């Protein structure tokens, strides 16, 4: 039912310099697949097949990744290497891809607003590819969120508990529990200091947004760090209507940090090849 997933991917990825000087951070690989590939897999699993990217200067590798590489594919056709491209080829056959550029860095809210032309007048998913999420026991995080959307038809954020001292790295919510995993949001603050945080429930990079978010973003003034924050727009939406937060099942790796990136790499390596395989 939800068709489009938006991937804001215009950020510089400064924590991975110098690698990200000429390589989009979303193209950094966990084993042999770039981060963006995991994000697209998750969206597809949730039933979305229209992938929309908000990119920026120096991000053309993202477009090339979701295109055919004629020369390379011709070279390796029929060889033992050919199966290595099978997974990305299958993925490409299942979705469509569209791209637009954010030409000024004015925050995540602005990046999402920039993508409005790629999203029809309907609810859509948002994946921040440097948050890599897995759920070994069942469906992916975006899939869990689409189920909630089908029932409540409002914007939804995925949240997890973090140590209080880390609240300044996240959007933080508070609200009233509907059940064990669902909260009706009544407050949201972007990157609050621990003593100002309304709780320790942090938003991770998964959203479902209803399309009225665009008109709210239009009237949302720059907030934290002088940037237009999706957290502020969602707070308006929560106060004027309803926004839900889902304590998702599964695990999230912060691949925007070196520590989380290495953790994810080790996790996927062990899962794929087993601990003792070298």
Q: Which is nearer to ligand G1P, 14 or 75 (CB)?
A: 14
Provide the phi-psi class of 264: left if phi over 0, else alpha when psi is between -120 and 50, else beta: alpha
Q: What share of the chain is helix, strand, coil (3-state, %, to 5)?
A: 40, 25, 35
**What CA–CA distance (Å, rounded) separates 26 from 38?**
10
Q: Which is nearer to ligand G1P, 204 or 245 (CB)?
A: 204
Burial class (CB in 10 A: 0-12, 13-18, 19+), 97: middle
Q: Which is nearer to ligand G1P, 13 or 275 (CB)?
A: 13
Q: Which is nearer to ligand G1P, 118 or 203 (CB)?
A: 203
Structure tokens at 201: 């429930």
Q: Which is nearer to ligand G1P, 162 or 242 (CB)?
A: 162
Q: How far is the CB of 267 from ligand G1P (least distance, A)?
A: 18
Q: How far is the CB of 92 from ligand G1P (least distance, A)?
A: 27
Q: Which is nearer to ligand G1P, 108 or 246 (CB)?
A: 108
Three-state secondary-structure class, residue 187: strand
How far, rounded to the nearest angstrom, does the alpha carbon of residue 218 sit from its chain's CA centroid? 22
Q: How far is the CB of 70 from ligand G1P (least distance, A)?
A: 35
Residue nearest ligand G1P (C-beta atom): 171
Q: Which is nearer to ligand G1P, 34 or 205 (CB)?
A: 205
Q: H-helix or E-strand containing 218?
A: helix 213-218
Q: How far is the CB of 149 from ligand G1P (least distance, A)?
A: 19
Q: In degrees, to the nearest 5, what angle opens at C-alpha 155 toward C-alphas 6 and 232? A: 85
Q: How far is the CB of 48 from ligand G1P (least distance, A)?
A: 19
Burial pattern 201-237, b for ≥16 Cβ within 10 A else e, equals bbbbbbbbbbebbbebbeebeebbeebbbbbbbbbbb
Residues lying near ligand G1P in the complex (CB under 6 A) are found at 108, 128, 131, 170-171, 190, 202-205, 229, 231, 256
Q: Which is nearer to ligand G1P, 146 or 229 (CB)?
A: 229
Q: How far is the CB of 74 from ligand G1P (least distance, A)?
A: 39
**What CA–CA distance (Å, rounded) separates 195 from 191?**
11
Q: Which stretches of the chain are assigned E, i.e. beta strand?
A: 4-8, 29-30, 33-34, 50-55, 96-101, 124-127, 131-134, 155-161, 171-177, 182-190, 201-209, 243-247, 251-254
Q: How far is the CB of 9 from ligand G1P (least distance, A)?
A: 11
Q: How far is the CB of 215 from ligand G1P (least distance, A)?
A: 20
């Amino acid at each position: 039912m939800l068709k489009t997933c938006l991937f804001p991917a215009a950020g510089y990825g400064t924590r991975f310099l110098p690698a990200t000087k000429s390589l989009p951070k979303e193209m950094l690989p966990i084993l042999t697949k770039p981060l963006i590939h995991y994000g697209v897999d998750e969206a597809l699993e949730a039933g979305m097949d229209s992938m929309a990217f908000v990119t920026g200067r120096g991000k053309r590798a993202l477009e090339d990744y979701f295109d055919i590489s004629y020369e390379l594919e011709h070279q390796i056709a029929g060889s033992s290497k050919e199966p290595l491209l099978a997974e990305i080829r299958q993925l490409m056959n299942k979705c469509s891809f569209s791209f637009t550029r954010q030409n000024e860095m004015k925050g995540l809210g602005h990046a999402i607003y920039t993508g409005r032309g790629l999203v029809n007048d309907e609810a859509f998913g948002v994946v921040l590819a440097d948050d890599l999420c897995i759920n070994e026991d069942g469906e992916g995080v975006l899939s869990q969120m689409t189920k909630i959307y089908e029932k409540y038809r409002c914007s939804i954020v995925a949240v997890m508990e973090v140590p209080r001292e880390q609240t300044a790295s996240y959007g933080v919510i508070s609200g009233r529990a509907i059940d064990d995993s669902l909260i009706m949001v009544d407050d949201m603050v972007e990157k609050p200091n621990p003593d100002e945080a309304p709780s320790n429930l942090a938003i991770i990079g998964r959203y479902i947004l209803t399309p009225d978010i665009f008109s709210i973003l239009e009237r949302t003034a720059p907030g934290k760090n002088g940037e237009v924050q999706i957290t502020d727009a969602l707070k308006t939406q929560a106060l004027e209507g309803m926004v839900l937060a889902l304590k998702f099942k599964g695990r999230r790796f912060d691949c925007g940090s070196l520590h989380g990136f290495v953790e994810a790499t080790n996790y996927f390596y062990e899962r794929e090849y087993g601990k003792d395989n070298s």
